[in-house]
Structure 1
Amino acid sequence: MPVISAKTRNLPLRAIACAGLTLLASGGAVAADELSSEVKNAMRRDLGLSSQQLGQYLKFERAAATEEAAAKRALGASYAGSWLERGADGSFRQVVATSGSGKALAGRKGIELRRVRHSLSHLNDTMASLDRSAKSRIPGISKSLDGVHAWYVDQTTNTVVVELAPGATDAAVDFVAASSADAGAVRFETSQGEQQAMAAITVAGGFEYTYPVGQYTSYCSVGFMVMQNEHKGYATAGHCGKAGQQVWIAGNLTGHFVLSDFPRSDKAWVTVYPEHTIAPWVVDYNHNNFITVKGSVPAPVGAVVCRSGRTTGTRCGTITAINVTTQANTSAGVVTWSGMTRTNACGGKGDSGGSFFTPAGQAQGVTSTANLLGPEPFAHNCMHPQSKVQTHFTPINPILSTYSLTLVTG
């Protein structure tokens, strides 16, 4: 649940703006020597990468989108997914899965071909059945989804994973049965902690934006700079505010929420008033530096992503699942959000709305939820092993299209 504080103080403005902008249809990664030292250090720290492994990863990241597109064309209906994978020795490889023979890709250099049971289309259909069932439930009449945390297509295991709390197996079985989804494609997985929106936290120093909640002050993080015709602003998390709500940065009134889709989804954008400026950057809170945003090309499963926010600074991890539907505990109660991306980059309350990006500067989304495994005052999940961290972001491209926004880039 959100935590709010009645305390206020003048906060140092460590950066003027977070994140960048013009929506690009394509864009590639950059070489290792073009990355900032801050991003390199964050990747080494959070992912345990050596310099050699970092260079290898960036090579695969540059080729990932091209290889994925080629695999989809070659395999057609039998295409079952593509992802980046790290081996036990720390090296990286790109994997392509198929439910067919895979002859069209036999011998293709640079990829590892795996044969699986289900096509990606079948997994997506199974996922869609679960989504329809969850969204058509009638409160007080339909069986409760208590204990069912999230569900998503896991390309790496060729299943649709339904995550549940310990002891909630019966609820999960009933959920799948009622959906008419292919139970043979579903796998149950026990998870610890429920997803919580990370909006407001108690007062802390660092770059942020603030907004009023009654007599209290709450906190979130700026996402990516955008334009709507001549109007400038930034994308952020919908649960951070409602349309018309004013926001402050470092004690200065800087804008207001134009639109927010909360609680239906976690999309929102904030206009920035004319006297202020925006820049195509993401703030590195750890080093008072900036990372330039180059575009918004979505990264695949297994790709490295980093996030920036006022609570936990710059943290890196990998994408572990895409198109996740999760049950999020918010100020509006438990809501169902679809189309989320899951990562193991840690985060905390107050990081909501902040920027998720690739090391090459491709905008990915705005921070939405995290599994806060400990009770208050533990306001983040960065103390937990990365294998247990689940932090979701709302992808940036759907936010741009929903509100007819253009991403600002440098």
Structure 2
Amino acid sequence: MRKFLAWAKRGLFVLTPLAVFAAASASAADPSATTRAALQRDLGLTSSQLSQYLKVERLAAAQERQMAQAQGERYAGSWLERKANGDYQLVVATTSIQPQRATADVEFRNVRHSAAALRASKGEIDDLVARGARVPGGVYGWFVDPRTNSVTVNVAPGAQRHAIGFVAASGADVDTLRFQTMASAPMPLATFKGGSEYLSYDGSGYWYCSVGFAVTRQGAKGFATAGHCGNAGDTAFVAVNRRTVSQIGAFAASNFPNSDRAWVQVDNSHTLLPVVDGYGKGDITVRGSTVAPIGAAVCRSGRTTGLRCGTIEAYNVSVQYPDATVNGMTQVKVCAEGGDSGGSFITGAGQAQGVLSGGNYSCKGKQANLATSYFQPINPLLQAYGLTLTVSP
């Protein structure tokens, strides 16, 4: 949790606990029963539909890069898409008008703007903010969306006029822009409450937050988490009971805003396992950190809301929190609540994806269907701090 965000320290996102990670599988080809059940529940899939989805997910992982290289400068992105009959397919967008040969589970789709053009347009908005421009209230973030072949700007109801002026000042290509209403503002997620897997202490108070993935660095061990959970040097604890805490280590590095990443180095007396907490249904093994495609299903594990699954909507999203912009986030259609911050996202094949940064709606009632969450991708986090993800042999 960052000190300059006074609103956060005063109770808007004080952290709650989450026990280790999200959801994975017993093997890359066969998700665990826990993960399958969560995917079927949250994505509305039958067992056979889930099996077909996993087949297409593996196809995407194996062929997506080659297809992008084959399209070259005409490549406009790709994603997993559910068809009307419930089956999934890999869609590859291209600006080429030439007929494309594809297998049964792949569709080539002609679009107007290339991926490079969309990235350049988003980059203009990012540069504007980097130069010190103020993001107007009601502008919640922006990202390249290959599914709509646009740079999509998330805005509050009634805020589109201000958003138009903002992006116009950036010089972004207006033909690439799309405005999407988001009824609730995202914010870094946390809850101020006692009893958690770990707490950060900044010298003035304790803040509950969530463990992400086990990591190592040059013989030192620890875990990845969200940057807004603590500054470098802040100490980390676990709650022994309501009145007693025990120190486990300290924040070795932390970055927020711009990114939302950190890692906590723990003392040698503690054990960190390459698993995700299954909340009474059996721990789930972490296998690696291969990036999943847009449209892929991921699951998030949190002490506050348990195991929740959704689909990836966009990468490299710039998210506007109150008084802070974070870049490079991944947007997921899944709910989360205070206390899930810093927790892990993982695919059904056991591939670590990232740690929870923030979101908007809760997981209660109909709000869960409206919710969007954001995570800090794990691979850039590992690279930034020279960390190695702990995986099962």
TM-score (norm 1): 0.86
Matched, 1:40 2:33: no
Cα distance, 1:264 vs structure 2: 3.3
Which residue of 1 is the match for residue 243 of structure 2?
Answer: none
Task: Write out aligned runs for 1:228-267 (5 A).
Answer: 228-251=217-240, 252-267=246-261
Q: Which residue identity is paired with 1:183?
A: V
Label 1:87 to 1:385 Cα distance change in 2 as closer, same or farther (>3 A).
farther
Which residue of 1 is the match for residue 116 of structure 2?
Answer: 121
Q: Is the 8 A contact 2:56 2:88 kept in 1?
A: yes
Which residue of 2 is the match for residue 30 of structure 1?
Answer: 28
Among 270, 286, 295, the alignment partner of 1:293 is 286
Moved more, 145-154 or 212-221: 212-221
Task: Write out aligned runs for 1:325-404 (5 A).
Answer: 325-329=318-322, 334-372=323-361, 380-385=362-367, 387-404=369-386
| RMSD over equivalenced CA pairs, Å | 2.4
Q: Across the two proteins, how many residue pairs are aligned to each other?
A: 376
CA distance in 1 between counterparts of 2:90 and 2:131 reads 38
CA distance in 1 between counterparts of 2:258 and 2:165 reads 24
Among 268, 271, 282, the alignment partner of 1:277 is 271
Cα distance, 1:18 vs structure 2: 4.4
Label 1:403 to 1:361 Cα distance change in 2 as closer, same or farther (>3 A).
same
Cα distance, 1:214 vs structure 2: 5.6
Q: Secondary structure at the match of 1:289?
A: coil
CA distance in 1 between counterparts of 2:139 and 2:386 reads 34
CA distance in 1 between counterparts of 2:228 and 2:102 reads 48
Cα distance, 1:184 vs structure 2: 0.5
Cα distance, 1:116 vs structure 2: 0.5
Q: Secondary structure at the match of 1:137?
A: coil
Q: Could you report, residue by residue, the CA deviation over 1:261-301 in whole angstroms, capped at 9, with x for unpaired residues?
A: 1233211000010111111111122x252111111001011
Q: Is the 8 A contact 2:285 2:350 kept in 1?
A: yes
Q: Is the 8 A contact 2:305 2:363 kept in 1?
A: no
Which residue of 2 is the match for residue 151 of structure 1?
Answer: 142
CA distance in 1 between counterparts of 2:173 and 2:66 reads 28
CA distance in 2 between counterparts of 1:201 and 1:302 reads 33
Q: Which runs of 5+ in 1 are unaligned?
A: 6-10, 21-27, 373-379
Q: Which residue identity is paired with 2:165?
A: D
After TM superposition, where is structure 1 displaced by more than 6 Å over at least 4 residues in a row? none
Q: Could you report, residue by residue, the CA deviation over 1:110-134 in whole angstroms, capped at 9, with x for unpaired residues?
A: 3011100001110011111111012
Matched, 1:320 2:302: no
CA distance in 1 between counterparts of 2:189 and 2:55 reads 34
Cα distance, 1:386 vs structure 2: 5.0
Which residue of 2 is the match for residue 208 of structure 1?
Answer: 197
Cα distance, 1:108 vs structure 2: 4.0
Label 1:212 to 1:364 Cα distance change in 2 as closer, same or farther (>3 A).
same
CA distance in 1 between counterparts of 2:129 and 2:10 reads 30
Q: Which residue identity is paired with 2:118?
A: L
CA distance in 2 between counterparts of 1:187 and 1:395 reads 24
CA distance in 2 between counterparts of 1:214 and 1:170 reads 43
Q: Secondary structure at the match of 1:256?
A: strand
CA distance in 1 between counterparts of 2:118 and 2:368 reads 26
Q: Which residue identity is paired with 1:238?
A: G
Q: Could you report, residue by residue, the CA deviation over 1:147-168 in whole angstroms, capped at 9, with x for unpaired residues?
A: 1111001110101001111121
Cα distance, 1:107 vs structure 2: 4.0
Q: Could you report, residue by residue, the CA deviation over 1:295-324 in whole angstroms, capped at 9, with x for unpaired residues?
A: 100101100000111211111011011111
Label 1:381 to 1:137 Cα distance change in 2 as closer, same or farther (>3 A).
farther
Among 75, 90, 93, the alignment partner of 2:89 is 93
Among 186, 193, 197, the alignment partner of 2:184 is 193
Label 1:89 to 1:213 Cα distance change in 2 as closer, same or farther (>3 A).
farther
CA distance in 1 between counterparts of 2:383 and 2:75 reads 27
Label 1:60 to 1:174 Cα distance change in 2 as closer, same or farther (>3 A).
same
Q: Which runs of 5+ in 2 are unaligned?
A: 1-6, 241-245
Q: Is the 8 A contact 1:364 1:396 kept in 2?
A: yes
Q: Which residue identity is paired with 2:143?
A: Y
Q: Which residue identity is paired with 2:294?
A: V
Q: Which residue identity is paired with 2:260?
A: D
Q: Which residue identity is paired with 2:382?
A: L
CA distance in 2 between counterparts of 1:107 and 1:217 reads 55
Cα distance, 1:174 vs structure 2: 1.0
